[in-house]
Amino acid sequence: MATHIKDSIQAFEAAAVMRLLPARPRLLALGEPTHGEDTPLEMRNELFRQLAEHEGYRTIAIESDCMTGLLVDDYVTSGRGSLDEVMKHGFSHDWGAYPANRELVRWMRAHNDGRPASEQLRFAGFDGPLEITAAASPRQALTALHGYLAARVDADLLPCTAESLDHLLGADDQWTDPAAMMDPVQSMGQSAEAAQLRLLADDLVALLDTQTPHLLTATAPDDWDRARLYGRTATGLLCYHHWMADTSPARMTRLCAQRDLMMSQNLLAVAARGPAFIHAHNSHLQRAKSTMQMWEGPVEWWSAGALVSAQLGEEYAFVATTLGTIRHQGVDTPPPNTLEGLLYALPDDRYVIDAPRLATALGDTRPALRESPWFGYAPFDPAHLADTDGIVFVRNVLDVPHN
């Protein structure tokens, strides 16, 4: 068994990852099995630096709010704002507090300083404006899209005024009420106002599409890209809120699926700009169906990676990350019959593994799925080896105190 593994591993570096693939993919996705640990983020940073310097990747997209991510992109490309402000306001899920994320943004800004736009690195969030406990109001996306169109097309073509849009949106706190996540009755996602806003959002996106020839000549490329982002986000958020108000047993499945659909649409937009490096949880990037145990029971849905892979084929590549220990979270030495246990028995700290080759070598002796003692950690499922282009293994994750 150990010989099979040794034949499938290489040292941890971008060149080793690229050797796993038939050609340079448009989207190269690196997953992680848990959030909140700096070691995987530091490895992500290291890979992105190598990919940017040697493989032509100019964009990194991470599992963070696509709207607030615009602040980060503005900072790394133009220096607009300050690093402290960007880390505070440019990330969702509290990602801005992690030293490795701060180092990524600092390095990208330093790399871009003095370079022409064509050589600059870009940043994108590809998650929706969503948190575990609540979803954002659609106000920012809807009003930004309306404002973009109002400044560039005949007012008679607009489906509503800014004032009527504001009236329908109402107070933002009625959209962001955390109680709605646990109790669909508390959500306004299926109210008369929300239904009208969904129609208006569709009309605004249709207007954006029908005016494409004019807008492409009247708008800078980045402004056009952002207008399309506003449209995707507005329609996606309103759909998400609609399903938050759903009382059927499929509610959580629909919410998980809608979130990953929003992610996939953002990733395809990133891919249209050129080769990009993607980082998120394994469950959002894998080609196989994703599953999660929720308070309402198990849910199963197609991930963003599965949706993107269905469209891009070999231009999408997925490399999972799996871990040996996270002792400060109660994840100790893995059992020897698991994939993590087999890899942990090898001496070095970090590897890149050819997953399909390893699956073939193992044959019917598939390792067991490791049990997780911690809800936030999802071990890699060996059943997905053949569907994964590669695996990055980290032997030990150390506790890094956050400021």
Residues 57-69: tens digit of each pLDDT = 999 999 999 999 9
* Average of per-residue pLDDT values in the chain: 95
pLDDT at 1 over 60: no
| Token representation of residue 141 | 């996306």
- How distant is the alpha carbon of residue 196 from its chain centre? 29
Q: Which residue has the higher pLDDT, 190 or 365?
A: 190
Q: Which residue has the higher pLDDT, 348 or 213?
A: 213
What single string gives the DSSP state of each residue in 230-245? Answer: HHHHHHHHHHHHHHHT
* Phi then psi dihedrals of residue 391, to 5 deg: -135, 135
Residues 208-251: tens digit of each pLDDT = 999 999 999 999 999 999 999 999 999 999 999 999 999 999 99
Exposed/middle/buried for residue 173 (C-beta within 10 Å: 0-12, 13-18, 19+): exposed
CB atoms closer than 10 angstroms to residue 295: 7
Residue with tokens 């394994």: 282
Residues 351-399: tens digit of each pLDDT = 999 999 999 988 888 899 999 888 889 999 999 999 999 999 999 998 7
* Continuous segment of H or E residues that includes residue 229: helix 221-244
Residues 111-126: tens digit of each pLDDT = 999 999 999 999 999 9
Taking alpha carbons only, the member of 26, 69, 59, 34 closest to residue 330 is 34
Percent of the chain with pLDDT over 70: 98
Q: How far is CA 132 from CA 58, 81, 115, 136, in A?
A: 30, 28, 38, 11
Taking alpha carbons only, the member of 341, 349, 348 closest to residue 380 is 341
Reported confidence tier of residue 400, pLDDT bands at 50, 70, 90: low
Percent of the chain with pLDDT over 90: 89
What is the arithmetic mean of pLDDT over 319-340? 95
Asked whether the whole model's pTM tops 0.85, one would answer yes
Q: Which residue has the higher pLDDT, 188 or 5?
A: 188
pLDDT of residue 366: 86
pLDDT at 403 over 60: no
Spatial neighbors of 397 by CB under 8 A, at least 6 apart, are 37, 39, 40, 323, 324, 325, 326, 331
* Cα atoms in the 13 Å half-sphere on the side-chain side of 288: 16
Tell me the C-alpha distance between 30 and 26, whole Å. Answer: 13
Q: What is the DSSP letter of 272?
A: H
What is the arithmetic mean of pLDDT over 151-179? 97
pLDDT of residue 23: 95
Residues 72-85: tens digit of each pLDDT = 999 999 999 999 99
pLDDT of residue 399: 78
pLDDT of residue 5: 75
* Continuous segment of H or E residues that includes residue 260: helix 251-273
Reported confidence tier of residue 293, pLDDT bands at 50, 70, 90: confident
What is the arithmetic mean of pLDDT over 271-299? 92
Q: How far is CA 204 from CA 26, 198, 386, 397, in A?
A: 30, 10, 43, 47
What is the arithmetic mean of pLDDT over 161-172? 98
pLDDT of residue 295: 73
Tell me the C-alpha distance between 25 and 45, whole Å. Answer: 19
pLDDT of residue 289: 94
pLDDT of residue 223: 97
